[in-house]
A and B are shown apart, each in its own frame.
Chain A
């Protein structure tokens, strides 16, 4: 049985993404994901962040992610020979939604930096690079994992949505999430955790609104979260119907690129053929399977 390791950056994905993808490929073993902090939660630039002004040198989260990816395939690693595929899965986030290329470039550069920092001898480095190229990938959820719940009505029910969903997946690509819901927009900024600027593009905040009971909607300010990723989000994700999510071949291109990549690594037909995101689709002779 082939073994797949996920490296994720969210608690919900840590709790449920392996179960969710494992249902699509039941003859493979998806191991419990390992967790690292996200590097996309602020606007990225091409340059690396400035190092801290004092103290012991600290690696940015993107380098830690890259280091963990390398550690899973480097010689001497206890898991190096046991993993057939290692996927880093990161959210693109709204702040980087318009620049997936910057995100992938940042990760690519971090992998190179960490390879250099490991000081492998020539033979070991070639082996690691070969494994990175054949067994490792970097994928994005756009703008974030919760967006895909809007591709399956039952997922919203599992997330305990209490209000009618006004997002139309047949009209708008879930990866370009945008909703026009007057009730959602009518709440003043700051009155609820999801009542923030640009909320119409934020699927997680919209889910927070959908999960808010009517009697709690118009009372005075409070910070109660009715949608929590580790509870309602986990319930929605772990049995997500990817067939419904990827029903439109030209949409959800980042998620489709990931499924296509996993299917190829496991020697399966892609169950959902269609257009893959150019930034993360499979390619030959890259640093990773898809970069």
Chain B
């Protein structure tokens, strides 16, 4: 199910008004804001959990959040049906003013609200002590969970907490994964650089049975995307390091992952990122196509679509690949174009779908007919 996103003045994003749902691809020239768009979603996710302080740390501080050409307020808002959540960070020097302005509303009526720099947040007519380390939702849950007289069930539907509980990774450190494996831990979610991938997979396989399905999803996806290369994988530990070995079809000898083709590791990371998320959540993958053969790209997107449909996931792929874009020929509304003014717009709103259907979307992108830089021919 799609949710609506409204962003103003966040870094290079002057204004975003967009419905997101299912598997989407984000295209546009370098510097047009694709990665910033992904990071805006990550920032919203981080505010909700682990909390505002970590959100700013992960975003590199508050000083660079403001749009470069505007000093108007920064606003990040998500809504679904009649429920809305918004956060308005105010940079202060290189930091940010805490607590941040934040509110939930239902049907246009504010239910919980935290005003900037206020020591309390309001739920209806009542005021409760704020905690700058917590998001408004976390603070409300903490207060009502302690037996305050407002029942926790009155909180707005926590769809954001799942929908925006995003799993993303940027610039996965494949060299480090090859050389050093993953640090031992109890992780069951891929971190943003993918460094803990082997630990996560091992914990899914060997740990709680609720994770078995995630491991199976990753293994099956790799079999489909790399049919001549991959059949199975297992794990090895040495000291504080976990690493893995994979088995080729029909070959009994394992091959250490530090010898694996880069595309196989990229596919492993993509699938682990998708499997890390729960029902109705969001996954963001930057530069999806890196190191992947066109066959693997096609198979992985198709396979991820199956899971997105089954689990109501939103999967956002930032890409420059014509091969990736061609996988959206039947659904141009799911292809989001960053135009030269840094405004993301669904492709079917920029061009007549009947016209688009007569071309390869990948060709149109490669030839700078869509998603081109300002100086395109």
What residues make up the interface of A, taking CB atoms closer than 8 Å to B? 37, 39, 41-43, 49-50, 52-62, 64, 193, 221-225, 228, 230
Task: Confirm or deny: B357 has a beta carbon within 8 angstroms of a beta carbon on chain A.
Answer: yes
Q: Please classify how large the interface on chain B is, using the bins under 10, 10 to 19, 20 to 34, 35 or more.
A: 20 to 34
Task: Supply 23 A–B pairs (Cβ within 8 Å), ascending by A.
Answer: A37-B326, A37-B329, A39-B358, A41-B330, A42-B353, A42-B355, A43-B354, A50-B355, A52-B370, A55-B367, A55-B372, A55-B377, A57-B367, A58-B363, A59-B359, A59-B363, A60-B358, A61-B358, A62-B358, A193-B309, A222-B309, A222-B312, A224-B309
Residue numbers in A under 8 Å from B357 (CB-CB) = 41-42
Q: Mark B171-207, 1 if CB is under 8 A from A, else 0.
A: 0000000000000000000000000000000000000
Alpha-carbon distance A169/B329, docked complex (angstroms): 32
Task: Confirm or deny: B116 has a beta carbon within 8 angstroms of a beta carbon on chain A.
Answer: no
Q: How far is the CB of A234 from chain B (nearest CB, A)?
A: 13
B359 adjacent to A54 (CB under 8 Å): no
B359 adjacent to A61 (CB under 8 Å): yes
Q: How far is the CB of B300 from chain A (nearest CB, A)?
A: 13
Q: How far is the CB of B21 from chain A (nearest CB, A)?
A: 9
Label chain B's interface by main secondary structure: loop
Alpha-carbon distance A54/B377, docked complex (angstroms): 6
Beyond A37-B360, A57-B367, whether A223 also contacts B309 by CB under 8 A is yes
A56 adjacent to B359 (CB under 8 Å): no
Q: How far is the CB of B326 from chain A (nearest CB, A)?
A: 7
B367 adjacent to A56 (CB under 8 Å): yes
Residue numbers in B under 8 Å from A61 (CB-CB) = 358-360
Task: Confirm or deny: B302 has a beta carbon within 8 angstroms of a beta carbon on chain A.
Answer: yes
Q: How far is the CB of A49 from chain B (nearest CB, A)?
A: 4
Shortest Cβ distance from B326 into A: residue: A37
Task: Confirm or deny: B364 has a beta carbon within 8 angstroms of a beta carbon on chain A.
Answer: yes
Residue numbers in B under 8 Å from A57 (CB-CB) = 367
B302 adjacent to A230 (CB under 8 Å): yes
Shortest Cβ distance from A60 into B: residue: B358
A49 adjacent to B367 (CB under 8 Å): no
Shortest Cβ distance from B368 into A: residue: A55
Alpha-carbon distance A147/B1, docked complex (angstroms): 30
Partner of A49, one of B308, B329, B355, B377: B355
Alpha-carbon distance A185/B363, docked complex (angstroms): 38
Task: Confirm or deny: B238 has a beta carbon within 8 angstroms of a beta carbon on chain A.
Answer: no
Residue numbers in B under 8 Å from A43 (CB-CB) = 354
Beyond A42-B357, A60-B358, A61-B360, whether A52 also contacts B312 by CB under 8 A is no
Alpha-carbon distance A179/B302, docked complex (angstroms): 29
Task: Confirm or deny: B310 has a beta carbon within 8 angstroms of a beta carbon on chain A.
Answer: yes
Shortest Cβ distance from A193 into B: residue: B309
Shortest Cβ distance from A58 into B: residue: B367
Beyond A221-B1, A230-B302, whether A52 also contacts B310 by CB under 8 A is no
Q: Identify which of B309, B329, B358 gathers the most chain A CB atoms within 10 Å of its CB.
A: B358
Residue numbers in B under 8 Å from A41 (CB-CB) = 329-330, 357
Beyond A37-B326, A52-B367, A55-B372, whether A64 also contacts B355 by CB under 8 A is no
Alpha-carbon distance A225/B307, docked complex (angstroms): 10
Q: How far is the CB of A84 from chain B (nearest CB, A)?
A: 28
Q: How far is the CB of B159 from chain A (nearest CB, A)?
A: 15
Q: How far is the CB of B193 from chain A (nearest CB, A)?
A: 31
Q: How far is the CB of A30 from chain B (nearest CB, A)?
A: 21
Beyond A42-B354, A54-B377, A224-B309, whether A64 also contacts B367 by CB under 8 A is no
Alpha-carbon distance A221/B22, docked complex (angstroms): 13
Residue numbers in A under 8 Å from B353 (CB-CB) = 42
Task: Confirm or deny: B259 has a beta carbon within 8 angstroms of a beta carbon on chain A.
Answer: no
Which 10 residue pairs spanning A and B have beta carbons closest together? A52-B369, A55-B368, A42-B357, A223-B309, A55-B369, A56-B367, A42-B354, A58-B367, A49-B358, A60-B358
